[in-house]
Structure 1
Amino acid sequence: MTHRTRRALVLALSVSAAATTLTALAGPAAGVPSAPPALSWRPCAQPGGPTDQECADLPVPLDYRDPDGPQLTLAVSRLRSEHPEARRGTLLVIPGGPGGSGVRRLTQQGKALRGQLGGAYDIVSLDPRGVGGSTRATCGLPAEDRHLVTLRAWPAPDGGIGENVARARRTAEACARNGGAVLRGLTTANEVRDIDRFRRALGEARLSAYGVSYGTYVGAVYAQKYPERTDRWVMDSNDDPDPRRVARRWLENMARGAEDRFPDFAAWAADPARAPEGLRLAGRPEDVRPLFLALAAELDRAPRETTTKGVPLTGNRLRQAMQLALYNDASFDGLALLMRQAGDPKATPVLPPDLAGPLSDEDAAAVMAVVCNDVRWPTSVAAHERAVAEHRVRYPLTAGMPVNIGPCSFWKDRPAEKPTRITDDGPSNILMIQNRRDPATPHVGALRMRAALGDRARLVTVERGGHGVYLGTGNACGDRTVTTFLLTGQRPERDVTCPDA
C-alpha cells in the first residue's frame, strides 16, 4: 500500500459513453487481444526527474473477455539504458497503492535506480487503469467524503460506527451509480493483464520487476499467472496474500504495524537532540505513547481550529497524521510539531497537506475500487462493531479503524473472479526485502507471503522501521543485496537479516 495521497492531473476518459454500459467485466480472458500497436514515445521529463524520461499511451481492453472491443488508455513511461552495450533486459517498476502512479514513481526514483544498475536495464513503468494519466473513473462523491480521514473509517470518539455505516453505504451507492464499466474494471487481475500487454508492446519475452507495497502483490500475482515471463523479481514491503481476504487483511495488519513502529518515533521524540528544535516531547521514550493517546482523546472531546478554515484538528486527524508519519523517519518532525501545537492552547495547528483537503474524486475512486472489486467483504454491522471494540482495546493507536466498516461492505457488484492463490509453483527467481518494523505492511504479513512462495523466494529482513526499503532508507546491506540480484541474478542462499546501518 502508498503512503501519500495522489492529486494527479485529471484526464478525460478515453472510452466511449456506450462502453460504460457494459456490465460483464474482467473475467478470465475468452480470447487473446490482437498485438498492441507500437508505442509512440515522446519526451515527458518533469522537474527533478531524469531529463530523458519518455512517455507513451498504451491501449488496453476495457474487458479482456472482449479483447478487441472498447479500449482504455494507459500512460506508460520509459528510461532507456544509458549504456546499450551493457543492457540485459527491461525492469518494470510496479507502483504501490492501489492508486499509485508508476509514471510519477519513475520520475522520483529513476535517477537512483540508474545509479545502481549502470545501464543494465531499460526501466519502465505505467499508471494503472484509473490512475494518473491513464483512463480515470469517478464516483461523484461530495468533498466531505473524500478526505483521507473519512475514506479511512475512523470510528466516533466513543467507538460508535453509525456514521461510518451511513458514509460507507452512500459511497458504495454513488460509485455504483456513477462509476460505470471503467470503475468495475479496476482490479488487480486487470492490472496484471495490462502489464503483460505492456510487455508485448515493448517486444520483451520476459520482464524483470521491482514492486513496492501493493505493487508486491501485483508482482506476485503476475509471477503466478505468467511465471515463464518473469526474469529477476524484486518485491519490497510485502503483506499477506491470503486469497480469502486480500486487502481486508492488509488493512487489518496496519494496527499491528503501527504498534511495531511507534516505539521508533517515541525514541526519536524523547531524544535530547530534539530539544533545540522544540520537538522533544518527553524525557523518556515510554512517556511519548501516553502523551499521544491523551492528546488524541482531548481532541476527540474538543477539536481545535487549524489554519485550514473549516477543517479542525480532531483526534482522528491526529491519529491519521501519526499513521502517515510512521512511514518514514523524515516525517517524524512534522508529527512532533503537530503534537506540540495540539497541546499548546495558544497555537493554531497546521495540518499536513494530505489531511488539509479532500482527494480528487478520481483518486478516491481508484483507491477504493480495486480493494472492493478484488474480493467480497463482510456485511454484518454487528460484527464490525465487535471487531472495532476489540481493536480499540488491543491497538489503541489506530482506535479500531483497520477493522471498521467501509464502502466495500455495501459494494453493489460481486467480484468478477476469485483472487489468485500465490503458491510455490514457479521459478525460484524472487527476492523479497522488508523492514522489520513496517507500519503499513508489517513483517508478520511478509512472512506469510514468504511462506506462500516457498523456495521461489528469499527474504531479506532489514532491522529498522519504515515503509519501503530499496534505495529509500540508506541501508547499505539491503541496497547491495537487491542491486547484486538485479545485476547478476545472485541471491542469498537462505533468508538473511541486514543490520540497521
Structure 2
Amino acid sequence: MTRGRGIRRSAALAVALGLGLSGSLVAGPAGADEKEGPSVRWGTCPEDVAAEAAPVVLECGTVPVPKDYADPDGGRIELMISRLASTDPDKRRGTLMLNPGGPGGSGLSQPAFLANRGIPSEVLDTYDVIGMDTRGIGRSAPVACGFTPEGPYFANIPPYAVDDAAVTARAKVVKKVAEQCAERDKDGVLPHLTTANTARDLDRIRAALGEERTSFLGYSYGTALGAAYASMFPERSDHIVLDSNIGDTHLDRDGMRRFALGVEQTFPDFARWAAARHDSYGLGRTSAEVRRTYFTLAERLDEKPVDGFDGGMLRQITFSFLFKEVQYSKLAQLWQTMKSGGDAKGLRTLGARSGPADQGDGTADTPPSLDNQLSVFLAVTCNDVKWPTSVDTYRKGVAEDRARYPMFGAAAANILPCAFWPYARAEKPVAIDDDGPRNILLVQNLRDVPTPHVGGKLLRQKFADRSRLVSVDDSGHGVYVYGDNPCALNTTTRYLVDGKMPKTDAFCPAG
C-alpha cells in the first residue's frame, strides 16, 4: 500500500462516521407484527462479530421490516440485531437500543464495545442492551456504490477546495458518483435509506422484542436517529440519551458546514498539547506557532504533494485525528514527518500505523466496509433533506467558509453527490416534537470536531421542556463511556438507571 492510499483509507474510515450466521439463528415469521408478540429468536452471532465482542458473549437475531413503509406489502428486508441480556431480573427495566453514528456505522458489536470499555454494571443490569446493523449496513440488506480507497470518492467529507475552480472540478466528480450509486442499486434499497425509515425500524424491533417502550443511547448521527424516534413515537420512548448532537433529525448542509466550526474550536487543544512537546515534535513553541505550522504545511503540500499526499489530505487527516486526544501523538508524528520532507518509506510506515482501529468504532479496515459505509452515508444524507443543486451555491459557500473558518471551511462547505442525487425525496425530514414526556438527556462536549457544542444547544431549543442539556468542559467526540469526565458519566448513568433527569441544564467542569 502506498502512503497516499494508506492515508486515504485512514481518512475515509475515520470519518465514515463502526457475514454468515451459525446454525442456531432463526428469524421470526416474515409477517410478524406487534399483535403477534415477540418474534426474535436468539442464537449465536457470526464468527467475526463474536470475535470482535470477546470476551463478552452476544446473542444475535433478525427482524423483518418493510423495504418501503409506503408499500408495506411490497417486499421485506432483514435487519440483524444483537443482545447483551441483563442477568438480574429484579433490576431489569427493559431494552436499551444503541446507535454508534454515521450514518453508516455498524453497531452489532457495540453492546460489547461499551461493556469492554467499562460502562457501569448497573446499566447492564437495568437493560438488555441491543446493538444492530441498521438498514443498508453490514448484515442488514447492505448497499454498495462501488467505492474504493483509490477512487475519486473515498471519504464522507469533501476535499478542501483550494480555489473556485476546485469546486467546479469536484462537481463533475460527485455527479458521476451519484449516477454510479443509482446504476448499482439493483435491489432498489437506496431510496428507502432514510432516518425516518430507520426510526420506524427501531419501533418494529421494539415490538419484536415484546417491549411497550424502549430506551435509546445514540452517538453523533445516532442523536439524529434518536431525536427522530422520540418525535415519531414519543409515548414508546423511555429513557433517551443523545450524545454529541448534530442538532436535528438529519444532517443537512448547515450541519456539514459546522464541521469547520468544530475544527476551529477543537484545534487549540491540540495546539497547546503540541506546543508543550515542541522539543520532541518541533511544531511550534506556542499555540499560535503550531497553527502557523498547519497552514505552512498544507499550503506547501498544495503546491507540491509528497508521495501522493497533498494539502487536502493533510487537512482531512488533521480533522479526523482531532476526534480524541489519544490520537494527538500520531497527528504530531505525521506533521513532523511532513515538515522534515519525510521519504516515501517513512510515510508508508506511518500510514500503516494510522488506521481506523485508533477510532475505537470496530470498523473493519477493508474496502467492502469502506464502500458500504460511504454508500449508506450518502443515501441517508441525500434522501433525508433537499440539497442545493446549483454549483454556484457551493462555490459561494466555500468562498465564505474559507474566510470564516480557514482551517477546514473550504472542505466542509464543498459540494457532495447530494447535489445530483437521482432519487426524489419521499417525505420531509422528521420534525422535532416537543410535545411528549420529559425524557431526553442531551450530552455534549464544549469542543468537538464533527458535532460542536452548538448542536446540543439547537436540539435543546427544539425539544424545549422535553430535554435537558449537560455541557461538558472537555474535548473530543463522544462523552458517555467514550470520554473520561466523572460528572458526565455519573449524570448519564443516574438517568439511565434511576430516571433522574437534571432539574435544569447542567455543566460538568473538566474532570
Measured against the shorter chain, the TM-score band is: 0.7 to 0.9
Identity %: 40
Q: Does 1:445 align with 2:455?
A: yes
Deviation (angstroms), 1:444: 1.2
Deviation (angstroms), 1:413: 1.1
Deviations 1:72-114 (A, max 9, x none): 1111000000222221211111221100111132231134335
**Which residue of 1 is the match for residue 80 of structure 2?**
75
Q: How do 1:74-473 and structure 2 match up within 5 A?
A: 74-111=79-116, 112-113=118-119, 115-141=121-147, 144-145=150-151, 148-149=154-155, 151-159=156-164, 160-180=166-186, 181-241=188-248, 246-272=251-277, 275=279, 278-305=280-307, 312-347=308-343, 348-349=346-347, 350-351=350-351, 352-353=354-355, 360-473=370-483
Q: In structure 1, give the amino acid aligned to 2:319.
A: Q
Q: In structure 1, give the amino acid aligned to 2:338.
A: A
The 1:36/1:393 distance shift into structure 2, 3 A limit, reads farther
Deviations 1:420-464 (A, max 9, x none): 111321111111110001111111122111100000001000011
Answer yes or no: is the 8 Å Cα contact 1:33–1:64 preserved in 2: no
Deviation (angstroms), 1:165: 0.5
Q: TM-score, normalised by structure 1?
A: 0.88
Q: What are structure 1's unaligned runs of at least 5 residues?
A: 12-31, 306-311
Residue of 59, 68, 75 corresponding to 1:63: 68
Distance 1:257 1:7 in 2: 15
Q: In structure 1, give the amino acid aligned to 2:217.
A: Y
Deviation (angstroms), 1:331: 0.8
The 1:78/1:343 distance shift into structure 2, 3 A limit, reads same
The 1:415/1:222 distance shift into structure 2, 3 A limit, reads same
The 1:129/1:462 distance shift into structure 2, 3 A limit, reads same
Q: Does 1:475 align with 2:485?
A: yes
Q: TM-score, normalised by structure 2?
A: 0.86
Deviation (angstroms), 1:357: 8.4
Answer yes or no: is the 8 Å Cα contact 1:41–1:56 preserved in 2: yes
Further displaced range: 318-327 or 34-43: 34-43
Q: What are structure 2's unaligned runs of at least 5 residues?
A: 1-11, 22-32, 358-364
Deviation (angstroms), 1:52: 2.2
Distance 1:209 1:334 in 2: 34
Q: In structure 2, give the amino acid aligned to 1:227.
A: P
Distance 2:270 2:402 in 1: 21
Deviation (angstroms), 1:146: 6.0
Distance 1:97 1:232 in 2: 22
The alignment covers a number of residue pairs equal to: 469
The 1:263/1:198 distance shift into structure 2, 3 A limit, reads same
Answer yes or no: is the 8 Å Cα contact 1:261–1:326 preserved in 2: yes
Answer yes or no: is the 8 Å Cα contact 1:10–1:362 preserved in 2: no
Q: How do 1:15-94 and structure 2 match up within 5 A?
A: 35=36, 38-44=39-45, 45-47=50-52, 49-94=54-99
The 1:35/1:167 distance shift into structure 2, 3 A limit, reads farther
Further displaced range: 346-355 or 280-289: 346-355
Further displaced range: 136-145 or 431-440: 136-145
Deviations 1:150-183 (A, max 9, x none): x432144334212211111001111122224111
Q: In structure 2, give the amino acid aligned to 1:136.
A: P
Deviation (angstroms), 1:402: 1.2
Answer yes or no: is the 8 Å Cα contact 1:138–1:183 preserved in 2: no
Deviations 1:31-79 (A, max 9, x none): x888587212112332453532111121111111232331111110000
Aligned CA-pair RMSD: 2.5
Distance 1:354 1:161 in 2: 28
The 1:204/1:242 distance shift into structure 2, 3 A limit, reads closer
The 1:36/1:126 distance shift into structure 2, 3 A limit, reads farther
Answer yes or no: is the 8 Å Cα contact 2:472–2:510 preserved in 1: yes
The 1:248/1:184 distance shift into structure 2, 3 A limit, reads same
Question: 2:189 is paired with a residue of what secondary structure?
Answer: helix
Distance 2:97 2:69 in 1: 22
